[in-house]
């Protein structure tokens, strides 16, 4: 790995039932960095060093199912309640009542849920790429996605256990990483009829300036060790509204839906900042929502920043994202001190 990875401390902690691996660096207020798909803690390598240098205790876990953390085999172990429970366990391990949370992709989903279910544990939240959507009790999006987009939609293809794993296995791990991490498409990821999404994604022959072959190999080596089933189980344990409940089966769906019903209509009131790349597929499909009034009504204390870039913005625009995060952390801390005076 790069020299950055050699400077972090590795540790494992026990949550309720599984072991989570994470890295840490620095001292000061706690900041949790939550990665997305297909990633592990290494996706935050730039922000770890930057924030630690500026006086923060930075902790970047491998989320359950990813990297060197335990990977339960059943998708039922990847519900939103499990994800929030893992984050609470991390805060408890470090004896911190509150922490700053930064999440990208699936890490952003986990962060929004933490803000919704346990706002008392969050000082402030920075979401990269994934905004907050209000829970809709009448929408089961996996079914609607199949009706609207068909089987070629990547989320639909990820639902069947083993299907994506078999398709990925036709390529070496480095190629799979290049197909996902270097994606430049801005349209919805729908493979043509009869084609798997991994076959539809292009393999870039030229690397962009923000990532090296060595760094891509770090990803490839880790996924060769851990496999893809754990990360894919996030998709298999969802009725994706980015803040909705599990839709693995009717029984499981009903149980989680009932648990989350108590938060129906609840706003996210913790200070929050949303950062996205203007060429991110997700942003392209939610541009009107993100830049309009509804998002800010649901998250009253919200700042929105749109940068020139794609989905993996914390790597592509590492310095800018790091500075945006630091600016937010300092602002929230200053506001907190001012409110106590």
Residues shown for the chain: 341
Angstrom distance (rounded) from CA 278 to CA 192: 25
Helices (H), 169-263: 173-181, 197-200, 213-226, 229-236, 250-261
Active site residue 310: no
Active site residue 46: no
Angstrom distance (rounded) from CA 181 to CA 183: 6
* 153, β-bridge pairs: 190
| Active-site entry in 35, 104, 310, 311 | 311
Angstrom distance (rounded) from CA 246 to CA 308: 33
Pairing of strands 19-25, 57-61: antiparallel
Active site residue 56: no
Local structure of 33: helix, strand or coil: strand
| Active-site entry in 62, 86, 105, 280 | 105
| Active-site entry in 35, 235, 247, 310 | 235
* 275, β-bridge pairs: 128, 305
Angstrom distance (rounded) from CA 273 to CA 271: 7
Angstrom distance (rounded) from CA 23 to CA 40: 11
Of 336, 314, 341, 312, the residue nearest 325 (C-alpha): 314
Catalytic site positions: 105, 235, 311
């Amino acid at each position: 790995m790069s020299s950055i990875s050699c400077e972090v401390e590795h540790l494992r902690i026990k949550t309720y039932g599984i072991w989570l691996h994470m890295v840490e660096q620095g001292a000061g207020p706690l900041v949790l960095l939550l990665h997305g798909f297909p990633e592990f803690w290494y996706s935050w390598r730039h922000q770890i060093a930057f924030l630690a240098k500026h006086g923060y205790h930075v902790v970047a876990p491998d989320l359950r199912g990813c990297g060197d953390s335990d990977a339960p085999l059943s998708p039922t172990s990847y519900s939103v309640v499990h994800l929030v429970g893992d984050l609470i366990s991390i805060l408890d391990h470090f004896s911190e009542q509150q922490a700053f949370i930064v999440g990208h992709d699936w890490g952003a989903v986990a962060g929004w849920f933490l803000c919704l279910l346990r706002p008392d544990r969050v000082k402030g939240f920075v979401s990269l790429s994934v905004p907050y959507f209000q829970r809709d009790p009448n929408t089961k999006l996996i079914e609607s996605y199949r009706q609207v987009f068909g089987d070629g939609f990547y989320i639909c293809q990820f639902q069947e256990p083993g299907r994506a794993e078999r398709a990925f296995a036709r390529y070496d791990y480095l190629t799979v990483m290049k197909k996902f991490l270097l994606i430049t498409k801005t349209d919805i990821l729908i493979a043509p009829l009869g084609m798997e999404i991994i076959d539809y994604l292009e393999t870039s022959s030229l690397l962009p300036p923000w990532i090296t072959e060595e760094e891509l190999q770090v990803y490839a080596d880790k996924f060769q060790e851990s496999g893809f089933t754990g990360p894919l189980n996030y998709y298999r344990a969802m009725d994706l509204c980015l803040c909705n409940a599990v839709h693995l089966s009717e029984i499981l769906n009903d149980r989680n839906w009932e648990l989350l019903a108590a938060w129906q209509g609840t706003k996210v009131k913790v200070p929050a900042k949303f950062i996205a790349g203007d060429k991110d597929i997700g942003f392209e499909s939610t541009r009107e929502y993100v830049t309009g009034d509804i998002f800010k009504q649901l998250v009253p204390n919200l700042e929105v920043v749109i940068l020139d870039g794609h989905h993996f913005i914390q790597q592509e625009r590492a310095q800018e994202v790091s500075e945006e995060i630091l600016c937010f952390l300092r602002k929230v801390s200053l506001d907190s001190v001012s409110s106590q005076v």
